[in-house]
Amino acid sequence: MRKEAKPHDGHGRWLAGPKSPWPDAYWEHVDRTTRMRILDARDNAAWDIAVKEARRVLQTYSTSFFTVTRFLPLAKRQKVEAIYAAVRYPDEIVDTFPLSPGEKCYRLDQWQDFYDRGLSFASLREAVAAGTPCFLAGFLHVVRHDAIPPEHYRSFLAAMRCDAAPRLFETMDDLIDSYVYGSAVVVGYFLAHVYGSSSPGRFAETLEVSKKIGIALQLTNFLRDIQDDRRMGRIYLPADMLREEGLSTLALATSEERAALGRVVRRIATHANDLYREASDRLFLFSDDSRAAIRACIDVYGQLNARIATDWRGDRRESVPAWKKFRVLPPSKYWRLPLAYLGW
């Protein structure tokens, strides 16, 4: 069920809690107030303002990813926060805002127009002054600074349009090529440009590992969100796998149907696990100061994937308990977590 918009406190401030998802109106409020602060600031302060708000988005929407990114160096962590906010907002357009399919596509087209125009601006502050939404302007700063190919974000927005107008995917290759590439692989590419490679000559190999991680994470998320996706008219499981088990829908009215879907789930989870393992074996390709965060991400989502594979029942959304997430993190860096939740 969607969250209702939070009321004002009587002084113009929105009462959106630090852990509650933001309604459409609150995103607009954040953009408006952040824009004013950026335009009142000098160029070197504009980035810090944009990143602080992007960090709130990440902390609000993904405690797992927020936690593991605390172990990146400050400059890389800030860029990852800016990336997350820029992919989170289009995802909210198609997942939670109360819009018709046509309205969702219109909003995504409008967002892409802002992005395409924003590529021509030389600075974050210049982009904001020209009307670029603040989270998009922050992302464009990363695109310019880290030489991220501009077409990757267009591929991401194309995948979001698939969410607005769902269709079936015939095979795993179809699912990956037609949807996962845009929804997850290119996001992995964004991150690879920020994380960096252990040596310049091996960056192409680093991108390949990032692709494996992106696919694995997305497959795990598909398995976790089967029922939520079904309620939105989406099926992100290959149709041929479902047919092999005698399934034409995901209504799951009988125990036999649930057992059949469970077999499909385990099959996909096994594929994701293979990708996690392959990526883990090649983490040496990433820069040394990024490996702890990437390792923690693989370990946390690998645990979630294993829980789904061994205990999927179709009547709940699986998650990894906080103490288990904490256990996979680098012990020498535990002290960062309390500071992170205080806004560090």
Q: Averaged over 256-275, what is the pLDDT?
A: 94
Q: Is the pLDDT of residue 68 over 60?
A: yes
Residue 193: how many CA atoms within 13 Å on its side-chain side? 20
State the first-to-last Cα distance of the chain, in angstroms, to the nearest integer. Answer: 32
d(CA 344, CA 331): 19
Q: Distance between CA atoms of 208 and 230, rounded to whole angstroms?
A: 31
| Domain-wise residue ranges, the chain | 24-165, 197-344
Rounded to whole angstroms, the Cα distance separating 48 from 30 reads 15
Lowest-pLDDT choice from 48-52, 134-138, 246-250, 252-256 = 252-256
Question: What is the pLDDT confidence band of residue 227, given thresholds at 50, 70 and 90?
Answer: confident
Distance CA 227, CA 316 (A): 8
Architecture label for domain 197-344: Orthogonal Bundle (1.10)
Q: What is the mean pLDDT of residues 239-252?
A: 87
Non-local (6+) Cβ contacts of 63 within 8 A are: 19, 322
Give the C-alpha separation, 188 to 218, whole Å: 11
pLDDT grade for 1, boundaries at 50, 70 and 90: very low
